[in-house]
């Protein structure tokens, strides 16, 4: 049976970069945030978001993600409402994707809120990607052209690194990408050994 490896980390930790490096070793990778973005374009989800948050966050029928983010990252209850719309749809999509990759010995499930959503319970192993807070903030500012204040708001809705690490099997420190890649190789060696034991 295919093993699910959860990969998580706070915003700006570089977990997607690490996930893509795993992918270069022919490991199927599911990037939950990317899939959630696509799923949020579906008529069913758009209607649910409209009914919950109103028409104001749509411009010419297109969801204004920045407006929605501003609402949900300022109100934990509204964030929970959004998650209750999106997460079940992502889970359904992932289950279907997993069936398509059932021949693989393991797959990687990458999600920013792996623990917060409870999805970590479905994983056989968990990897947390970390980086110092200032580096993470700067990465997100550069990537999203946003403000430090907004990045900190998003960070404050997520678990701390300490809390994630306490529930993880492996930790990859992603300050230098070259060193982080070496950690990936070590994990892959461990997985190969485990595979032979089965």
Here the CATH number for the domain that contains residue 173 is 3.40.50.300
pLDDT attached to residue 3: 94
Instruction: Report if residue 132 sits inside a domain.
Output: yes
173: in domain: yes
**Per-residue pLDDT reduced to its tens digit, 155-196:** 998 999 999 999 999 999 999 999 999 999 999 999 988 877
Domain assignment present for 198:
no
pLDDT digits (tens, 9 = 90+) for 77-116: 999 999 999 999 999 999 999 999 999 999 999 999 999 9
Residues annotated within the binding site are: 12-17
Please give the Cα distance from 177 to 111 (Å, whole number): 19
In 10 A of CB 108, how many CB atoms? 22
- What would the mean pLDDT of 42-69 be, rounded to a whole number? 90
Give the domain extent around 153. Answer: 3-191
Binding-site residues for ATP sit at 12-17
Residue 94 located in a structural domain: yes
Res 147 pLDDT > 70? yes
Residue 15 lies in a domain: yes
The whole-number pLDDT of residue 198 equals 59
How many folded domains does the chain comprise?
Answer: 1
Q: Is residue 42 included in any domain, yes or no?
A: yes
User: Percentage of the chain surpassing pLDDT 90?
Assistant: 82
Structure confidence at residue 193 (pLDDT):
87
Whether 77 is in a domain gets the answer: yes
Q: Which long-range contacts (CB under 8 A, 24 or more apart) does 177-182 make?
A: 177/14, 177/17, 180/14, 180/17, 180/18, 180/21, 180/129, 181/21
């Amino acid at each position: 049976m295919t093993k699910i490896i959860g990969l998580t980390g706070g915003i700006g930790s570089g977990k997607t970069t690490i996930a893509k490096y795993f992918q270069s070793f022919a490991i199927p990778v599911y990037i939950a945030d990317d899939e959630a973005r696509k799923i949020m374009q579906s008529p069913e989800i758009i209607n649910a978001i409209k009914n919950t948050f109103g028409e104001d966050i749509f411009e010419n029928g297109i969801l204004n993600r920045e407006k929605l983010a501003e609402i949900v990252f300022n109100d934990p209850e509204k964030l929970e409402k959004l998650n209750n719309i999106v997460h079940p749809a992502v889970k359904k999509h992932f289950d279907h994707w997993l069936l398509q990759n059932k021949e693989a010995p393991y797959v990687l499930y990458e999600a920013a809120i792996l623990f917060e959503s409870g999805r970590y319970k479905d994983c056989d192993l968990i990897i947390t990607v970390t980086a110092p807070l200032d580096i993470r903030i700067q990465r997100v500012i550069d990537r999203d052209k946003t403000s430090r204040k907004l990045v900190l708001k998003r960070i404050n809705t997520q678990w701390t690194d300490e809390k994630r690490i306490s529930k993880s099997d492996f930790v990859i420190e992603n300050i230098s990408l070259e060193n982080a890649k070496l950690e990936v190789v070590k994990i892959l060696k461990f997985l190969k050994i485990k595979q032979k034991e089965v």
